[in-house]
């Protein structure tokens, strides 16, 4: 059975030591993390289009010219004030920012959406929607809706992910660390208003549904002190690793220190004048069946959550394969 030991962990990154396994397992888990881990991401965006008159008395948006006195309007739909003079009674706003709607939608798709696997489902497996045709699917159990209404300014206003408001539990707002992600920039007279719907998906469908990046694994290595006298050439460089870091058997097993040792050996390795004299006084060897696995999430979920969901997806895949093999054979 595979054994696992967490080496380092933070809110977004994790490094794990796998024991009693092989490259096939590590690679299968890597692929599952990237392709089969469930994640929420924005799939559709509905933009509000047109020109509007903003009443300066109550900040209500009226359809362009409808409330203006000059066009025979009855006044602001909200407070009834006559909109007579632009800049005094009202300001005109238009949804004509510099970026096309398609580019804004693409940026929104890559914003990390908090993913609660216990609360939300895939649309095709949602208890409320699975029996409906695709066009009719979408409920609070499988859809998350965000809204945004932003206005420009003379000096320019950057619209960020933090301007998106979730229509529901506040715990599912965009995480604080990612609220500064820029979406577009608006200037005087420009506005942006949209409703964005996020659904559950997999990285195998689109990159926006892949919750991880930098997924790597390498064999675990240990340092071996072969010749103490020649190793002194490395110690004399006054780097970080010293003879005291090796145990009485001449082994260095601390993972972080071995990584440092590998870097420092470049000072006495290929391309240096002392390589011949150093002559592998210290070497590194791979530990059979042990791998160091690391990855980073996009902030939509914790690393441990991503690992658990990827493992569950991998287990399901192998279970399905086993059933198919039994049926075929």
Report d(CA 120, CA 27) in Å as an integer.
28
Considering the domain architecture, whether residues 143 and 45 belong to the same structural domain is answered as yes
Judgement on whether residues 120 and 66 belong to the same structural domain of the protein: no
pLDDT at site 33: 95
Q: Are 178 and 289 part of one and the same domain?
A: no
Containing H/E element for 54?
strand 51-55
- Is 197 in the same domain as 222? no
How many domains, the chain?
Answer: 3
Q: Are residues 58 and 184 in the same domain?
A: no
Residues 6+ apart with CB under 8 A from 79: 55, 57, 58, 60
311 assigned to some structural domain: no
Q: Is residue 81 in some structural domain?
A: yes
> Rounded mean pLDDT of 179-199?
95
Residue 267 within any structural domain of the chain: yes
Mean pLDDT of 179-187: 95
Banded model confidence at residue 329, pLDDT cuts 50, 70, 90: very low
Q: State the chain's mean pLDDT as an integer.
A: 91
One domain, residues 141 and 14: no
pLDDT in tens, 236-284: 999 999 999 999 999 999 999 999 999 999 999 999 989 999 999 999 9
Residues 45 and 176 in one domain: yes
The predicted model gives 111-117 an average pLDDT of 95
Q: What is the CATH number of the domain that holds 241?
A: 3.30.1360.10
Encode pLDDT of 283-297 as tens digits: 999 999 999 999 999
How far is CA 129 from each of CA 28, 138, 197, 209, rounded to the nearest angstrom? Answer: 31, 7, 16, 20
Measured between alpha carbons, how far is 58 from 38 in angstroms, rounded to an integer?
A: 44
Task: Among 187, 206, 225, give the residue marking a domain's end.
Answer: 206
Shared domain check, 180 and 268: no
| Domain presence at residue 80 | yes
Mean pLDDT of the 80-87 span: 87
pLDDT over 90 percentage in the chain: 74
Look at residue 312 and tell me whether its pLDDT is greater than 60: yes
Ramachandran region of residue 258, left (φ > 0), alpha (ψ -120 to 50) or beta?
Answer: alpha
Residue 185 forms beta bridges with which residues? 158
158's tokens: 């950057």
Q: How far apart are CA 210 and CA 298, in angstroms?
A: 8
Residues 11 and 57 in one domain: no
Residue 260 to residue 237: CA distance in whole angstroms = 14
Residue at a domain's end among 178, 206, 234: 206
pLDDT value at residue 74: 80
Q: Classify residue 321: in a domain, yes or no.
A: no
Q: What angle do CA 168, 172, 178 make, to 5 degrees?
A: 135
Report yes or no on 328 lying in a domain.
no
Q: What is the per-residue pLDDT across 60-71, written as a single tens digit (0 to 9) for each?
A: 888 888 888 888
**Boundaries of domain holding 186:** 39-49+95-206
Check residue 96 and give its pLDDT.
Answer: 87
Same domain, yes or no: 125 and 14: no
238 contacts 217 by C-beta, under 8 angstroms = no
304 falls within a domain: no
d(CA 251, CA 225): 6
CATH code assigned at 196: 2.170.120.12
306 domain residue, yes or no: no
3-state DSSP call for residue 71? Answer: helix
Clarify whether residues 290 and 175 are in a common domain. no
| Residue 142 shares a structural domain with residue 119 | yes
| Assigned token pair, 228 | 């103490």
């Amino acid at each position: 059975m595979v054994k696992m030991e967490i080496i380092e962990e933070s809110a977004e990154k994790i490094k794990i030591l796998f024991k009693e396994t092989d490259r096939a397992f590590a690679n299968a888990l890597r692929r599952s993390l990237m392709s089969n881990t469930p994640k929420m991401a924005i799939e559709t965006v509905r933009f509000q289009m047109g020109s509007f008159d903003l009443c300066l008395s109550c900040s209500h948006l009226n359809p362009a010219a409808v409330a203006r006195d000059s066009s025979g309007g009855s006044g602001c739909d909200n407070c009834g004030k006559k909109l007579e003079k632009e800049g005094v009674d009202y300001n005109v706003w238009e949804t004509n920012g510099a970026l096309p709607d398609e580019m804004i939608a693409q940026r929104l798709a890559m914003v990390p959406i908090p993913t609660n696997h216990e609360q939300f489902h895939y649309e095709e497996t949602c208890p409320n929607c699975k029996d409906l045709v695709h066009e009719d699917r979408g409920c609070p159990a499988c859809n998350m809706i965000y809204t945004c209404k932003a206005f420009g300014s003379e000096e320019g206003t950057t619209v960020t992910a933090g301007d998106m408001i979730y229509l529901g539990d506040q715990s599912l707002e965009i995480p604080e660390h990612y609220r500064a992600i820029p979406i577009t920039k608006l200037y005087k007279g420009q506005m942006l208003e949209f409703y964005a719907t996020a659904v559950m998906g997999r990285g195998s469908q689109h990159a926006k549904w892949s919750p991880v990046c930098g997924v790597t694994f390498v064999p675990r290595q240990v340092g071996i002190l072969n010749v103490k006298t020649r190793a002194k050439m490395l110690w004399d460089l006054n780097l970080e690793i010293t003879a005291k870091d090796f145990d009485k058997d001449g082994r260095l097993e601390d993972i972080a220190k071995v990584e440092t040792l590998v870097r420092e050996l470049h000072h006495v390795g290929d391309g240096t004048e002392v390589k011949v004299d150093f002559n592998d006084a210290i070497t590194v060897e791979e530990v059979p069946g042990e791998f160091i696995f690391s990855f980073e999430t996009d902030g939509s979920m914790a690393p441990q959550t991503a690992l658990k969901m990827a493992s569950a997806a991998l287990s399901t895949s192998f279970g399905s394969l086993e059933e198919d093999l039994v049926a075929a054979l």
